[in-house]
Amino acid sequence: MNRRDFTGALVAMGGVATTGATQAQGGPVEGTHYMRLASPVPVSVPGKVEVLEFFMYSCPHCFQFDPALDAWVKKLPADVSFRRVPVAFRPNLEIHQRLYYALEALNQLETLHIKAFTTIHVEHKMLLKDEDVAAWSTANGLDGAKLLDTMKSFAVAGKVRAAKQAMEAYRVDGVPMLAIQGRWTTSGSTAGTHEKALAVADYLIAQARRTKA
């Protein structure tokens, strides 16, 4: 990732630079590279900086973003909590939300998250029917009936409802989108590129640390 575009912000990972100084040095600008939420959203992990990614399995931009995001997440410090939030802009895509949370419940995200993306965008199998999801699951070594049962469980239904509520609270109108500490959002379209969005997220994490100190 080339972070030199936002030098002032990213050198100051401890948050010592002021916003004005950062902008003067070419750092992220509120309203241009990121947005501030009019009403802050409560975070779910007290004592840490929370970062959310809103995504859809059917979104090609989310598929393209995922490798860079995954590498970035693996390098996050211990005081940052990261969580993906699957969303659906159409009712028929809710099956993908349930798929994500079922894979999470079965501890299969590490191996099957990227395979779901690949199946949809490389193999062009949309996984929009239960029977297709079951066949895909079986082909990837996971009991298809067990996955479908988990997708229809009360726990997964609750997580889908929570995801919809988060989508509304953060006013998600496009994906992939990153939300930091319930206060700010950024994205590839806002920041300029996916790589710049991650750089902006680094900057906002540092800003969140400053306000916690």
Q: Is the pLDDT of residue 140 over 70?
A: yes
- Banded pLDDT at 26 (limits 50, 70, 90): low
> Span 40-48, mean pLDDT?
94
Section 77-81 average pLDDT:
97
Per domain, the residue ranges of the chain are 32-212
180: CB partners within 8 A, 6+ apart: 49, 50, 51, 186, 201, 204, 205, 208
At residue 25, the pLDDT reads: 52
pLDDT of residue 100: 98
Averaged pLDDT, 80-105: 98
Q: What angle do CA 28, 23, 189 make, to 5 degrees?
A: 20
User: Mean pLDDT, the chain, as a whole number?
Assistant: 90
pLDDT at 178: 98
What is this structure's pTM? 0.88
The topology (CATH level 3) of 32-212 is Glutaredoxin (3.40.30)
pLDDT at 211 (0 to 100): 83
pLDDT band at 27 (very low <50, low <70, confident <90, very high): confident
Q: Is residue 50 a contact partner of residue 81, using CB atoms and an 8 Å limit? A: yes
